[in-house]
Amino acid sequence: MQFDLKAYLARVGIAETPSEASPATLGRLQLAQARHIPFENMDPLTGKVPDLDPAALWRKLVENRRGGYCFEVNALLGTALSTLGFKAMPIMARVRNGAPRGGPRSHMAFIVTIGNETYLADCGFGGGVPMMPFRLDSAEPQEIVGETYRVRRDEDTGEEVLERQTSEGWYGLYGFERSPAFQPDFEAANFVCARWDKAPFPTNLMMARVTEDGRNTLFNRALKISRNGESEAQRIETFGDFEEAMTGLFGLPEQPALYSAVWDRIKDK
């Protein structure tokens, strides 16, 4: 299918087509998509393997205004970047989430080259990654929208590890190598993530959306609202509150049947 750049930009709240493939444009695009297209895994949770065909992704994410997980939202981001003239190399990463080593390569992100600079761009990790592109040419920690990150070389695994600074120290998010991944890699990992009983996606609801002053995240019924560096934890108790969070905090359209099916999966968690 032909990518409708104007419709995509409207979906992510950008009124005018960017004039150049610059670092500023990359940052604007990543932040805009993270604000308007949430991370969510409701399809794997309700027994579906997400369809990565470009036309299916377009219907789900743009026309139907849903969200998706990394193989969906980052695929859309990658097509937008390519259409705008960016050199964006897709990579596969091993999720760590604080562990000393990662699991299988189950996460998709991009290394974007602009002139002599390289950036890590990612809209699909589900919370905790930089809201704006991370410069890979510097070993120094970088503050991005009030959060501090670094990339550390792990000599044991040969990976570069993206880490976030927390009150308890540096927290490893995922490890990656600077080698390209291809569509068969994503198709295989997508199926494993959606169906494997050891993957988190078929059994837990995970959601994230960047806001003007922070982010909203949800793990099953545990809701976290972060604003200007301060966080508030809540627990969703009723289906009505769950529906309200979907359409309000996460910006999704009304979908009673889907939300009911998801609620049945998480109401006792």
What are the Cα distances from residue 71, in Å, to 21, 102, 124, 128, 167?
Answer: 23, 18, 8, 17, 31
Tokens of 257: 């049947």
39 forms beta bridges with 68, 208
Residue 70 among the catalytic residues: yes
Q: Which of 4, 43, 53, 122 is catalytic?
A: 122
CB–CB of 162/172 below 8 Å? yes
pLDDT of residue 252: 98
Q: Where are the alpha helices (DSSP H) in the chain?
A: 5-11, 23-36, 42-45, 54-57, 70-83, 183-195, 239-247, 256-266
Residue 36 among the catalytic residues: no
Give the rounded percent of residues in the chain with a pLDDT score beyond 90.
Answer: 96
Q: In the predicted model, is pLDDT for residue 201 greater than 80?
A: yes
Name the least confident of 135-139, 185-189, 226-230. 226-230
The mean pLDDT of 158-173, rounded to a whole number, is 96
Q: Which of 36, 107, 123, 193 is catalytic?
A: 107
The mean pLDDT of 94-105, rounded to a whole number, is 96
Residue, of 207 and 126, whose pLDDT is higher: 207
**Tens digits of per-residue pLDDT, 210-264?**
999 999 999 999 999 999 888 899 999 999 999 999 999 999 999 999 999 999 9
Band (52; pLDDT cuts 50, 70, 90): very high
pLDDT of residue 105: 97
Give the whole-angstrom CA distance, residue 9 versus residue 17: 7
Q: Please give the CATH architecture assigned to the domain spanning 5-197.
A: 2-Layer Sandwich (3.30)
Give the whole-angstrom CA distance, residue 142 versus residue 131: 12
Tokens of 209: 């959306």
DSSP 60: I
Nearest one of 12, 184, 190 to 84, comparing CA atoms: 12
Give the whole-angstrom CA distance, residue 174 versus residue 105: 10
pLDDT of residue 230: 86
For the chain, the distance separating the N- and C-terminal CA atoms, rounded to the nearest angstrom, is: 40
pLDDT of residue 76: 98
Tokens of 52: 């990565």
DSSP 58: I
Tokens of 267: 């109401």
Output the average pLDDT for the chain. 97
Q: In the predicted model, is pLDDT for residue 175 greater than 90?
A: yes
Q: In the predicted model, is pLDDT for residue 1 greater than 90?
A: no
224 forms beta bridges with 217, 233
Q: In the predicted model, is pLDDT for residue 192 greater than 90?
A: yes
**Tens digits of per-residue pLDDT, 55-69?**
999 999 999 999 999
What are the Cα distances from residue 90, in Å, to 4, 223, 268?
Answer: 21, 31, 37
The mean pLDDT of 66-76, rounded to a whole number, is 98
Q: What is the pTM of this model?
A: 0.96
Give the whole-angstrom CA distance, residue 247 versus residue 265: 19
Q: Which of 36, 70, 123, 193 is catalytic?
A: 70
pLDDT of residue 126: 87
pLDDT of residue 214: 92
Give the rounded percent of residues in the chain with a pLDDT score beyond 70.
Answer: 100
Q: In the predicted model, is pLDDT for residue 127 greater than 80?
A: no
